[in-house]
Amino acid sequence: MNTKTTQTAHKLEVRDLDLFYSGVQALKKIAFTLDRQEVSALIGPSGCGKSTFLRVCNRMNDLIPSCRITGEVLLDSKNIYGSMDVTELRSRVGMVFQKPNPFNMSIFDNVVYGKRMQGMKDKRELSELAETSLKKAALWEEVKDRLKKPAQRLSGGQQQRLCIARSIAMEPEIILMDEPTSALDPIATGRIEELIGELKREYSIIIVTHAMHQAARVSDRTAFFLMGELIEYGATKALFTNPRDKRTEDYISGRFG
């Protein structure tokens, strides 16, 4: 893949991206941008390539041997498929999954896990990191008296906020979220949505969601994917009220998908 540096004013820019699994094309000629302090929502029917695209943005597809990619993915103008160190990339571009996946350890140890792996040892520094990250993830008040308790004892919604705290602790620039609320009840979902609104002051976020009202509530721009193509990408309000493409209109009005 091309390793040269190309200038872009965007936080993230994807150019001319094709992706194949064992020769079968799953993403076609994708062009996409994400700006600083922006929330972008990815919508589209099951199997259209949303998770695949999200994984492109922090090279999680590297773990899939049959996966081949061409095109450019620029993070601050630098191609992430070039000489960038993958560990560094993943700490700059964090990920939160559909099912909360706290590690089998205490709340505290979960949050500081990544920084410890990077060599952070000082007790006070680790405590401060845990506190700030949990505060930013709107979980601190609920867990501050039981930081040493197993993370698995938290509710699903709390576990998901813990995973967000774990991601934040790495001081990422972009957070990728793959259907982060689909396993949660409406109250927990509301809290995460509120949290996304706060997080975007500091981070850029890409969120995959099947709930169109969620995309409408939390995102600045929405991208509609269909069978591996990015059909339409634009201001969320405009896309939902006045889609440019007939296929977007059919999807958001519930005619398929």
Ligand X SMILES: Nc1ncnc2c1ncn2[C@@H]1O[C@H](COP(=O)(O)OP(=O)(O)OP(=O)(O)O)[C@@H](O)[C@H]1O
- 61 binding Mg ion? (CB under 5 A): no
Distance between CA atoms of residues 203 and 6, nearest Å: 22
Q: Which is nearer to ligand X, 26 or 170 (CB)?
A: 26
64 touches which of Mg ion, ligand X, none (CB within 5 to 8 A by kind)? ligand X
20 touches which of ligand X, Mg ion, none (CB within 5 to 8 A by kind)? none
Which residue, chain included where needed, has tokens 């040493």?
A: 148
Task: List the one residue out of 93, 89, 104 whose CA is nearest residue 162.
Answer: 104
224, HSE (Cβ side, Cα atoms, 13 Å)? 22
Contacts of 145 (CB under 8 A, 6+ apart): none
Q: Which is nearer to Mg ion, 51 or 219 (CB)?
A: 51
151 touches which of ligand X, Mg ion, none (CB within 5 to 8 A by kind)? none
User: Closest approach of Cβ 19 to ligand X, in Å?
Assistant: 8
User: Closest approach of Cβ 233 to Mg ion, in Å?
Assistant: 18
91 touches which of ligand X, Mg ion, none (CB within 5 to 8 A by kind)? none
Query: How many other β-carbons are positioned within 10 Å of the β-carbon of residue 85?
Result: 8
Q: Which is nearer to Mg ion, 108 or 225 (CB)?
A: 225
47 touches which of ligand X, Mg ion, none (CB within 5 to 8 A by kind)? ligand X
Distance of CA 57 to the CA centre of its chain: 9
199-238 mask for Mg ion (x: CB under 5 A)?
----------------------------------------
Distance of CA 135 to the CA centre of its chain: 19
Residue 22 near residue 48, CB atoms below 8 Å: no
Query: How many other β-carbons are positioned within 10 Å of the β-carbon of residue 165?
Result: 26
- Chain residues binding ligand X by CB under 6 A are 21, 26, 44, 46-52, 64, 66
246, HSE (Cβ side, Cα atoms, 13 Å)? 0
User: Closest approach of Cβ 210 to Mg ion, in Å?
Assistant: 9
Distance of CA 74 to the CA centre of its chain: 16
21 touches which of Mg ion, ligand X, none (CB within 5 to 8 A by kind)? ligand X
Distance between CA atoms of residues 74 and 180, nearest Å: 25
Q: Which is nearer to ligand X, 21 or 97 (CB)?
A: 21
User: Closest approach of Cβ 212 to ligand X, in Å?
Assistant: 13
- 51 binding Mg ion? (CB under 5 A): yes
Task: List the one residue out of 151, 144, 145, 133 whose CA is nearest residue 202.
Answer: 133
Q: Which is nearer to ligand X, 60 or 111 (CB)?
A: 60
Q: Which is nearer to ligand X, 60 or 196 (CB)?
A: 60
Binding residues vs Mg ion (CB under 5 A): 51
